Structure 1
Amino acid sequence: MAATVLIGLVSVALVMQQQKQSQRQIVTLSQRSMHALASQRLLSRGEAVSAQLADALVNPLYYSDLEAIGSAVGNVLRQPDVSYVLVYDAQGRLVHDGSQDIERYGQRMSDPFALEVIGAGGQLVQRDDSMLDVSTPIRIGDQRLGGVRIGYSLATVRDDEVAMADAMQARLDEIARRHLVGLGALLLVLLVLGGLVAAVLQRRLVRPVRQLAAAAQQIEAGHYHVEIPVDARQDEIGDLMRAFDRMRDSIARHDRDIRRMAYTDPLTGLANRLALRESLDQRLLQMQGAAGQLALLFADVDNFKRVNDTLGHDAGDEALVQFTARIDAAVREFDIARPQLARFGGDEFVILLQVPAGSGADLRDVAAALAARLVEEVARPIDIEDRRVFLGISIGITVFPDDAGSATMLLKNGDIAMYQAKLAGKNGYRFYSLALDQAGERRIHMEQELRGAWERGELSLVYQPVVRMEDRALVGVETLLRWQHPELGHVAAPVFIDVAEQSGLIDVIGPLVLRAACIQARAWQRRFTKAGALFIAVNVSPRQLHSTVFAAEIEAALHDSGLPPHLLHLELTETAVIGDEARIGQVLGELRTRGVKIWLDDFGTGFSGLNHLRRVPVDGVKIDRSFVADLLRDPDDLALTSAIISMAHSIGITVVAEGVETEGQYEVLRDRGCDLGQGYWLGPPLTAAECDALLA
C-alpha cells in the first residue's frame, strides 16, 4: 500500500509538473504571439494610414490649404492609439498638427525622430519604448512637398498584452486547481484507478493546452487557417479553446481589413499602386520562360487639374468615380482573360492585359482597340454639379517582353509613351518605342545642360534690325537668344526654348535676357547719337507673362539699366494670354501707362487675334512670316496681309512684317502701308559688336 501510495503521489507530482510546464509554455507562447500580432497590426495600420493620408494631402499641401489639411489630420487623430499627427514641409517645418491655432506652425521639428524623418526618401518607421512613429513623404511626381508623421502610443498595447496574459494565467491557475482537487479525490477514493485518471488528465487537459500552444505558433507565423479542435465540453479548457478559436477568426478578419486598406483605392474601389505592382511582379514571374504577352496601358486624364481648380476637389473626386465606371465598362466590352484595372495615383490609371500562348490574338491590336475605345468613351461629357465637363485621356502602351523585361521598366515605358501622347495633342494613345525613349533621354540631357548655360557663357544675344518701310531707316532691334553648346553645337532656338518652358528654366533665363537687352540698348544710346530713339524688342514667354512677378521684373530691368520705358517693346503671342485675359490685360495696361510698348507677335495664326486686340491693350501687331513668305504667289495671303494692315491702322496701332526675305516682298508691303519690317533682306541678326559697327 505504501508503494502504491508512493507511486500514486509520484504520478500526481509528475502530472502537476507537466501541467505547470504546459501552463508556462502556453502563457509564454500566447504572450509572444499576442505581442507580435499586436505590434504587426499596429505597424501595418500605421503604414497604411500614413500612406493614405500622404496621398490625401498632396493637393492641400501644394496649395497650402490648411483647412483641408486640418480636416484630414483631425480624422486620423480621432483614431485609437494615435498620439499625434504632424504635417511638415520639405525643410522639416511644421505645417499642421491638428490643433486649431497650430502654435508651432513654421517651426522646424526637433524631436528625436525628426532628423531621420526629414532626410528619409520613403516611408520610415521609428520607435522607442513608448511610441511608434510612422512617416511618409508627400510628393508630386519627383518633387517632394514635405511629409506626414503619425505617432502611435505603445502603452495601450503593452497594457492589453499584460492584462490578457494575466487573465490567461489566472484562468489556467484556476483550471489547475480544480483538476488537482479532482485528482486528489480520485487518488484517495480509488488508488487503483490512478493510472486511468492520469491518462484521462493527459487526454483532456495537457493535449488541448499543447494544441493551443501549437495553434498559437501557427497564428504567430501568419497561418490563420489553422484548425483548433473545438468540442462541446463546458469546462474552462473548452471555454479557452472556443475563445482561442474566436480570437483566431478576429485576427484573420482584421488582417483582411488591413490588407484591403493597403491594397485598395478608397475613392474608386480599384486596386491601388501597391496591389498593381505586386500583381504585375507575380504575372511577370509566371510568364518567365513561357510564351505569351502582357500589355500595360498607362492612362492619364487630360487637364484634370482644371476640374479641381474650378469646381473643387469634391467635384474632382466625382469625376474620377465616373471615369472609373466608364473605363471599367470599356474594359469589360473586350473578351480579355484576367484584365486588371488599377488607379495608379491622382488621375492616372493602369490597365494590364494578358494573352496566353496559343490564343491566336494579337495583343497589340487588342491594346490599340481598347485604347481607342477608352479615348472615345472618356471624351463624352460628364455632368458634375449641373455643369457639363469635357475632358480627354492620354494613353501610353507598352508590351512585355518586346519593350521591357521588368515591372519597373514597363511602368517607366508606359509613362514615356503616355507623355508622348500628351505632346502629340492629348486625347489619344501612343505605343512605346525606343526612339521615344531616346528622345526623352535627349530632352532630359538638354534640360540638364541648359541649367547654368548662361553663367557658363554658352547663351548669347543677337539683335535683328527693325527698319521703317518708308525709307529703310533703322528704328529698333529685336533681341534673339542663341545657344552654342560645346558638344551639341548650335541648338535651334525653338528646341531649347521649349525645353526651358517645360522645365521652368525660362523663369530664370527670361529675366536675365530682359536685363541684358535693356543694358545693351542703354549702352548704345550713350555711345551713338543715332541710337537715341532706337527701341529694343524682347520676346516674353507665356510662363513669364503668367508669373506674379512679371511686372516687377520689367521695372527692375528698366531701373537697373536706365533705359527709358518707351524704348522697351515687349513681344508676346496671343496664345500666351488665353485663359487669363483680365489679369494679364491689367498688367499690360499698367506697363503701357509707364510707357512700355506691347506687341502681339505671330498675328493672324491664332484662333481669335481680333478678339485679343479688343481685350488686351497692344501698341502694334507683327504679321507672321508664314503670310509674308507667300505674299507674291498666294493672292489669299496678300489679301489677308492687306486686311491686317488696314485693320490695324483703323484702330491706331502699328504693323511690323516679319520674314522679309526679298525686295519684292519689301515693295509690296511698303506699298500696302506696312509701317515696319524685319528679315534677312533688311538685315540678319547681328552680334552686339556688329551692331556697334552698324550704328557707327
Structure 2
Amino acid sequence: MLLDALPIAAAILELEAGGMRITAHNQRFAEAVAVSSASTMNGLTKMCLSGDGIIATFLDDWFADDGLRADLDFRDGAGVAARFYRLKLAPLPTHGECRRALLSVVDRTAEVQAERTLRAEMLRDSLTGLPNRLAFTEMVEAAGRKTDPSFNGHAVLVVDMLRFSRINESMGSLAGDELLITFARRLISALRAGDALARTGGNEFGIVVALRRGGVADALKAASRIQEVMQAPFRLSELEIKVECAIGVALMQPDQDAEELFRNAQFAVKQAKASGRPEVYEPKEASLARRRFSIETELRRALDRDLLDLFYQPLVDLKTGEVTGFEALARWHHEDRGEISPTEFIPVAEESGLILTLGRWAMDRAATTLAGWDAREGETLPLYVGVNLSAIQVARDDIAAMVAGALRSSGLSGERLTLELTESAIVQDPRRATRVFDALKALDTTVAMDDFGTGYSSLAYLQRLPIDVLKIDRSFVTGMMIDPDSVAIVRAVLSLADALGMATTAEGIESRELATTLAALGCSSGQGYFFARPLAAEDAIDYWRSRQRPSLKPILTRVRG
C-alpha cells in the first residue's frame, strides 16, 4: 500500500452526505492515534475517528474552498504532558459524489518544546535571570492590553545605574557583574504586586509600573522607593560603594507603541542625569530634542554647501569713537526655517562635533574677508577681526595649525587676528589652554578671554596665561544702570585688567549712558547695539569708513546699524 511508504502518519478521508470516514491509513497513523488515545479520549483520537468532530468540520470547509492545501495545528492534552500535532490536508481524485483527501499527521511536540526553550532563553538575561530587552517590549505590550479596573493605567520607568563604567574599569568585570546582580535584587525589593522588571541594557533596567488612582504621582513614588533602597552602600570585596541611579518616567497612552514608550522613558533618563532627580517625559522637551537633531542634519548640509554667512560687529574705541576691529559672528538663514539663532545652532554644532568644521570655516572666512578689505582699500587697514573658539575646538582640534593656515592663505600678519576663548573653556582644561595660548602667541595673534566673570576662573589663570584682552560679559554691563553691584563688579574687573596690563572690552552696550559710564571707568573698547548690530561684510567696511570721517563726533553720537 502506498500509504505505508510515507515517512509520516497518513490516512485517506472521505466526506459524503453521511459524514466523514477513514478508508485507509498506514501503521504510523494507527500508532499516533493509539498514543493519543492512551493520553486522552478528547484529543487526536476523537478528531480523527469521530464523524462529526473538528476534522469533519475542517474538511467540509476545506472542500468548500476549492480544496486548496491546508494545515491545522492541534494540541492534545495540557501542561507538560501536552503533545502538539500539525494536521495537513491534500486533495485526492473524487469517486463520484464522494470527496476524498489525504490527511497527514506530524508530531511537532519535540519541535514546539525546543522552540519554547529557545524562546525562553532568548527572552532572559543570562546574568541577572531577569527578562531582557526583547521580553520587556512584550511586557509593555501586554500591560497596554490589560483593562483591570483597579489600575489607572501603567507607566514605564527606566533606571540607569550611574558611574557603572568607572566601577567596571577600576574593579574589573567580575565585580561589575556582582554589582549588577545585587542592584537587580534591590530593584525587585522596591516593586509592588503588578510591577514587572527587566534588564534592558548593560547598566539599564526597565520597569512596568501598574498605577493606582494617583497616576503620575504613583510613578514618582515608585521612583522614590527605588532611590530609597539604593541609599545603602553596596559591598564589593572589601569596599563599600554608593551607587546612584537616574530614573526616567513615561506614562503609557492608549494604543501607544511599546518602543516609542520605552524611548520616551530613556529620553527622560537623560534629563534626570542633568537634573539629579527623577524626570517625567514631556512631549515638548522631546520635540525640542527632535528639532536639535533636525538642525544637526541641516547644519551639516549647510556647511557642505557653504550656505552660512559671517557677520561682523564693530568694536569701538570708547575714548576716540573709532572702529578698531570687528567680531566675526556666524549667521544662518535657512531657506525654509528662516533665521536660525546662533544660540540654537552653535550648541548643536558643539554637541555633534560639527563645531570643528564650523570653526575652521569661520577662521578662513574672517581672514579672507579682512584681506579682501585691505585689497579693496589699497592699504593695510588699522583693523583686526576677532574669531571665537569653542571649548570643543580647543580640546579636539589643532588650533595653532588652523590659525597658521588661515594667516598663510590670506597673507595676513598675526596681529590682525584676535582669538576669543570663553572663560569656561579655559577652566575646563587649563593645561591645554596654556599650550594653545602659547602657540597662538607664537603666531603674534591677540588672545582674549570672553565672557569674563561667568566661569568661576581662578585669578591664577589670569596671571599665568598669556591673555591680552578681558571681555566683560554683557550680564554685568546691561545691569550697570540699575544695579550698584554690577557697577562694582565691572569696576573691579577693569582695575584687575589694568594691574595685569590687559586691555578690556565691554559687551552688550545698548545705550549712551552705558557707553559714557564705561568710558569714564577706563574701559578700552566696547561693542553692542548702541554702535551697530552685526553687519554683512560690505556693510561692515562701509560702517568703518563712516566712523573715519574727520568730522567724527564723540561716541555719544549714535550710529544705527
Question: Which residue in 2 is equivalent to 1:371?
Answer: 223
- Distance in 1, matches of 2:293 and 2:150, equals 36
In structure 2, relative to structure 1, the CA distance for the partners of 1:301 and 1:474 (3 Å cut) is: farther
Question: Which residue in 1 is equivalent to 2:351?
Answer: 502
1:226-241 mapped onto 2 (5 Å cutoff): 226=81
> Does residue 299 in structure 1 map to residue 299 in structure 2?
no
Decide which structure has greater helix share.
1
CA-to-aligned-CA distance 1:225-280 (integer Å, 9 cap, x gap): 3479xxxxxxxxxxxxxxxxxxx999979974x55653333444433211212222
Contact map agreement 2:506 2:526 (CA 8 A) in 1: yes
> Does residue 469 in structure 1 map to residue 469 in structure 2?
no
1:350 positional shift: 1.6
- Distance in 2, matches of 1:525 and 1:388, equals 67
Contact map agreement 1:461 1:481 (CA 8 A) in 2: yes
- Distance in 1, matches of 2:237 and 2:447, equals 40
Identity value in percent = 30
- Distance in 2, matches of 1:328 and 1:363, equals 26
Query: 1:411 pairs with 262, 265, 270, which one?
Result: 262
Contact map agreement 1:297 1:398 (CA 8 A) in 2: yes
Q: Give the counterpart letter for 1:277 in structure 2.
A: T
1:604 positional shift: 0.6
- Distance in 2, matches of 1:570 and 1:470, equals 23
Question: Which residue in 1 is equivalent to 2:80?
Answer: 225
- Distance in 2, matches of 1:285 and 1:667, equals 70
Question: Which residue in 2 is equivalent to 1:671?
Answer: 520
After superposition, the CA RMSD in angstroms is: 4.2
Partner SS for 2:301: coil
Q: Give the counterpart letter for 2:268 in structure 1.
A: A
Contact map agreement 1:315 1:385 (CA 8 A) in 2: no
In structure 2, relative to structure 1, the CA distance for the partners of 1:429 and 1:278 (3 Å cut) is: same
1:372 positional shift: 4.0
CA-to-aligned-CA distance 1:602-629 (integer Å, 9 cap, x gap): 1111233535435654322211111111
In structure 2, relative to structure 1, the CA distance for the partners of 1:332 and 1:390 (3 Å cut) is: closer
In structure 2, relative to structure 1, the CA distance for the partners of 1:286 and 1:376 (3 Å cut) is: closer
Query: 1:645 pairs with 494, 497, 500, which one?
Result: 494
Contact map agreement 2:325 2:386 (CA 8 A) in 1: yes
Partner SS for 2:529: coil
Question: Which residue in 1 is equivalent to 2:63?
Answer: none
Contact map agreement 2:394 2:436 (CA 8 A) in 1: no
Contact map agreement 1:393 1:428 (CA 8 A) in 2: no
In structure 2, relative to structure 1, the CA distance for the partners of 1:664 and 1:379 (3 Å cut) is: farther
- Distance in 1, matches of 2:372 and 2:467, equals 27
Query: 1:396 pairs with 238, 248, 254, which one?
Result: 248
Partner SS for 2:409: helix
Question: Which residue in 2 is equivalent to 1:44?
Answer: none
1:616-631 mapped onto 2 (5 Å cutoff): 616-631=465-480
Query: 1:588 pairs with 401, 417, 437, which one?
Result: 437
Question: Which residue in 1 is equivalent to 2:97?
Answer: none
Moved more, 377-386 or 425-434: 377-386
Contact map agreement 1:375 1:428 (CA 8 A) in 2: no
Question: Which residue in 2 is equivalent to 1:351?
Answer: 207
Contact map agreement 1:660 1:666 (CA 8 A) in 2: yes
1:449 positional shift: 2.8
1:589 positional shift: 1.9
1:198-277 mapped onto 2 (5 Å cutoff): 211=35, 225-226=80-81, 256=117, 258-259=118-119, 261-277=121-137
- Distance in 2, matches of 1:653 and 1:388, equals 50
1:501-520 mapped onto 2 (5 Å cutoff): 501-520=350-369
Contact map agreement 2:449 2:471 (CA 8 A) in 1: yes
- Distance in 1, matches of 2:322 and 2:239, equals 56
In structure 2, relative to structure 1, the CA distance for the partners of 1:345 and 1:227 (3 Å cut) is: closer
CA-to-aligned-CA distance 1:109-130 (integer Å, 9 cap, x gap): xxxxxxxxxxxxxxxxxxxxxx
- Distance in 2, matches of 1:298 and 1:340, equals 12
In structure 2, relative to structure 1, the CA distance for the partners of 1:251 and 1:575 (3 Å cut) is: same
In structure 2, relative to structure 1, the CA distance for the partners of 1:529 and 1:671 (3 Å cut) is: farther
1:114-263 mapped onto 2 (5 Å cutoff): 211=35, 225-226=80-81, 256=117, 258-259=118-119, 261-263=121-123
- Distance in 2, matches of 1:614 and 1:547, equals 25
1:537 positional shift: 0.8
- Distance in 1, matches of 2:327 and 2:234, equals 47
Partner SS for 1:606: coil
Q: Which runs of 5+ in 2 are unaligned?
A: 10-26, 45-72, 84-108, 546-561
In structure 2, relative to structure 1, the CA distance for the partners of 1:351 and 1:611 (3 Å cut) is: farther
Question: Which residue in 1 is equivalent to 2:57?
Answer: none
Question: Which residue in 2 is equivalent to 1:113?
Answer: none
- Distance in 1, matches of 2:126 and 2:519, equals 67
Query: 2:143 pairs with 272, 280, 283, which one?
Result: 283
Question: Which residue in 1 is equivalent to 2:14?
Answer: none
1:443 positional shift: 2.9
In structure 2, relative to structure 1, the CA distance for the partners of 1:405 and 1:631 (3 Å cut) is: same
Moved more, 480-489 or 523-532: 523-532
Question: Which residue in 2 is equivalent to 1:606?
Answer: 455
Q: Give the counterpart letter for 2:223 in structure 1.
A: A
Q: Which runs of 5+ in 1 are unaligned?
A: 1-13, 30-201, 229-247
Partner SS for 1:532: coil
Question: Which residue in 2 is equivalent to 1:545?
Answer: 394
Q: Give the counterpart letter for 1:273 in structure 2.
A: R
- Distance in 1, matches of 2:33 and 2:514, equals 103
Contact map agreement 2:367 2:410 (CA 8 A) in 1: yes
Contact map agreement 2:494 2:504 (CA 8 A) in 1: yes
Q: Give the counterpart letter for 1:282 in structure 2.
A: A
Partner SS for 1:453: helix
- Distance in 1, matches of 2:281 and 2:509, equals 42
Q: Give the counterpart letter for 1:502 in structure 2.
A: E
> Does residue 340 in structure 1 map to residue 222 in structure 2?
no
1:517 positional shift: 0.7
In structure 2, relative to structure 1, the CA distance for the partners of 1:625 and 1:383 (3 Å cut) is: farther
Q: Give the counterpart letter for 1:312 in structure 2.
A: E
Contact map agreement 1:375 1:394 (CA 8 A) in 2: no
- Distance in 2, matches of 1:518 and 1:372, equals 56
CA-to-aligned-CA distance 1:436-470 (integer Å, 9 cap, x gap): 34333333333333232245564211111112233
Q: May I ask how many residue pairs the two structures share in their alignment?
A: 469
Contact map agreement 2:316 2:323 (CA 8 A) in 1: yes
Decide which structure has greater strand share.
2
1:675 positional shift: 2.2
